[in-house]
């Protein structure tokens, strides 16, 4: 259906930048400054996530570049910027200059290989998880291996959350995914909040219902549907929502608070209205699951005004087609079908109400 295809398209747009990366390499061999949308990489030091304002990136030359300021987080490594840039470690002293570094977003960056060479740390970049791991001794190596092995049990469809910044719906907090492990259809997710507290969330199958990626949060609250028109699907909306079926509204703002998507909109009457919809899954799903994103009347130009008036009031009438009943009442709880060489008969069950279709038209209904 068109609604679902647009939903999938939005998800593809969201993650396309992390999948398709054209290659641009500048004259000095460093591609980071000229990269097209370099991908952010999470960094773990001795099993703990490192949070810096300057991000680590996978550039278009398939090399990982880390901010030089990250060295301040490494035990036994010192960074002196008084006279040029000098790094001191168990490996000796090293000068950092334009031959072995690059400037990006007003910060100095070095490659992952260069960092290992000058710090004495060991490390591994795991492309599957877009994550760098660093460790300084065998015990910390063992901790790191445990984290990596846990991730091997996690489905590919959710593994990419590792190291990502996320937003938790119920507590309105941000955090970072620091560990994941799966058993059957359940994935346990360990999240470190901004205040350093550790919480656990669960993903059932493939879609988290209690948190979302920061990119999904930003897309929903800042970009995706702002100033767009949608048409209410009253059958799917909470009963408290003050809209009538297929009513057109203009979305003015979207936010997420206390487990709900908070929608401020303008009705056709020019009245502003604010309402809440419980959020359970991808944020954009709140819109696609509760509204039509295309004008239903344009998709069904042959339906009469009488039919549209019935649909707006969520009523049915003899002679309506199954599509018209679906738009008015939504999907039934059950369908029983009988066919012969001369006719077809369907019984749609809505609770204790039974609708009867004969040759594709509503013929009768009864409530027991």
pLDDT at 335 over 70: yes
Per-residue pLDDT, 339 = 80
User: Does position 23 have pLDDT exceeding 70, yes or no?
Assistant: no
Mean pLDDT of 206-229: 94
Write down the pLDDT at residue 330. Answer: 92
- Number of helices followed by number of strands (H, E) in the chain: 9, 26
**pLDDT score, position 27:** 36
What is the mean predicted confidence (pLDDT) over 202-225?
Answer: 93
Q: Let me know: does 179 contact 49? Beta carbons within 8 Å.
A: no
**Separation between Cα atoms, residue 288 and residue 223, nearest integer Å:** 15
Cα separations in angstroms, 172 against 111, 217, 350: 36, 11, 37
- Residue position matching structure tokens 């591994």: 124
CATH number of the structural domain 216-297: 2.30.30
Instruction: Provide mean pLDDT across the span 105-133.
Output: 95
Exposed/middle/buried for residue 62 (C-beta within 10 Å: 0-12, 13-18, 19+): exposed
Asked if the model's pLDDT at residue 82 lies above 80, the reply is yes
Alpha-carbon distance of 256 to 279, in angstroms, equals 8
300-367: CATH number: 3.30.1450.10
pLDDT at 342 over 80: no
pTM for the structure as a whole: 0.82
pLDDT at site 16: 39
List, for residues 247-304, the tens digit of each pLDDT value. 999 999 999 999 999 999 999 899 999 999 999 999 999 999 999 999 999 999 999 9
Residues 6+ away with beta carbon under 8 Å from 307: 320, 324
Which residues is 194 bridged to in the sheet? none
4-8, 28-32, 223-227, 234-238: least confident range: 4-8
The percentage of the chain sitting over the pLDDT mark of 90, rounded to a whole number, equals 81
Instruction: Compute CA distances 143 → 74, 77, 146, 148, whole Å.
Output: 17, 21, 5, 9
pLDDT score, position 326: 95
pLDDT score of 89: 96
pLDDT 10s digits, 121-175: 999 999 988 999 999 999 999 999 999 999 999 999 899 999 999 999 999 999 9
Domain ranges in the chain are 19-156, 216-297, 300-367
Contacts of 306 (CB under 8 A, 6+ apart): none
pLDDT of residue 265: 97
User: What pLDDT digit, counting tens, does each position of 69-80 carry?
Assistant: 999 999 999 999
pLDDT above 70 coverage of the chain, percent = 92
Decide: residue 27, CB within 10 A, 0-12 exposed, 13-18 middle, 19+ buried.
exposed
Is pLDDT at 17 greater than 60 in this prediction? Answer: no
Q: How far apart are CA 217 and CA 14, in angstroms?
A: 11
pLDDT band at 338 (very low <50, low <70, confident <90, very high): confident
Helices (H), the chain: 2-16, 112-119, 138-151, 156-159, 214-218, 285-290, 296-299, 305-312, 322-329
CA-based nearest residue to 314, from 205, 255, 260, 239: 239
Instruction: Reply yes or no on whether the pLDDT at 9 is more than 80.
Output: no
> CA-based diameter of the chain, in Å?
93
Q: What is the number of other CB atoms lying within 10 angstroms of the CB of residue 45?
A: 20
Q: Angle 338-340-345 (CA atoms, 0-180°, nearest 5)?
A: 35
Do domains 216-297 and 300-367 share one topology? The answer is no
Provide the pLDDT confidence category of residue 28 given band limits of 50, 70 and 90: very low
Supply the pLDDT for residue 6: 41
């Amino acid at each position: 259906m068109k609604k679902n295809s647009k939903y999938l398209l939005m998800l593809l747009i969201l993650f396309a930048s992390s999948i398709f990366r054209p290659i641009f390499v500048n004259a000095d061999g460093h591609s980071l400054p000229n990269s097209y949308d370099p991908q952010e990489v999470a960094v773990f030091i001795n099993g703990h996530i490192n949070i810096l304002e300057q991000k680590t990136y996978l550039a278009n030359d398939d090399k990982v570049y880390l901010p030089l300021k990250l060295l301040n987080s490494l035990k036994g490594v010192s960074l002196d910027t008084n006279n040029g840039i000098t790094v001191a470690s168990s490996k000796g002293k090293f000068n950092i200059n334009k031959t072995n570094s690059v400037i990006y977003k007003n910060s100095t960056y070095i490659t992952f290989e260069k960092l290992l060479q000058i710090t004495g740390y060991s490390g591994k970049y795991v492309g599957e998880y877009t994550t760098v791991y660093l460790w300084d001794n065998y015990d910390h190596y063992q901790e790191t291996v445990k984290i990596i092995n846990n991730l091997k049990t996690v489905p590919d469809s959710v593994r990419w959350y590792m190291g990502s910044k996320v937003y938790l719906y119920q507590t309105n907090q941000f955090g970072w995914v620091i560990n994941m492990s799966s058993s059957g259809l359940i994935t346990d997710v360990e999240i470190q909040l901004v205040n350093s507290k550790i919480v656990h969330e669960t993903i059932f199958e493939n879609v988290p219902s209690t948190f979302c990626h920061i990119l999904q949060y930003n897309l929903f609250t800042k970009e995706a549907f702002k100033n767009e028109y949608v048409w209410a699907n009253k059958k799917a909306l909470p009963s408290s929502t003050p809209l009538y079926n297929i009513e057109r509204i203009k979305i003015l703002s979207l936010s997420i608070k206390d487990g709900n998507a908070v929608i401020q909109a303008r009705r056709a009457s020019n009245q502003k209205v604010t309402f809440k919809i419980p959020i359970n899954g991808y944020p954009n799903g709140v819109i696609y699951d509760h509204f039509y994103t295309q004008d239903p009347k344009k998709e069904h130009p042959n339906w009469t005004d009488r039919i549209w008036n019935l649909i707006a009031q969520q009523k049915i009438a003899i002679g309506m087609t199954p599509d018209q009943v679906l738009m008015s009442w939504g999907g039934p709880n059950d369908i029983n079908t009988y066919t012969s060489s001369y006719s077809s008969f369907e019984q749609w069950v809505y609770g204790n109400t039974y609708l009867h279709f004969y040759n594709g038209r509503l013929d009768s209904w009864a409530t027991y």
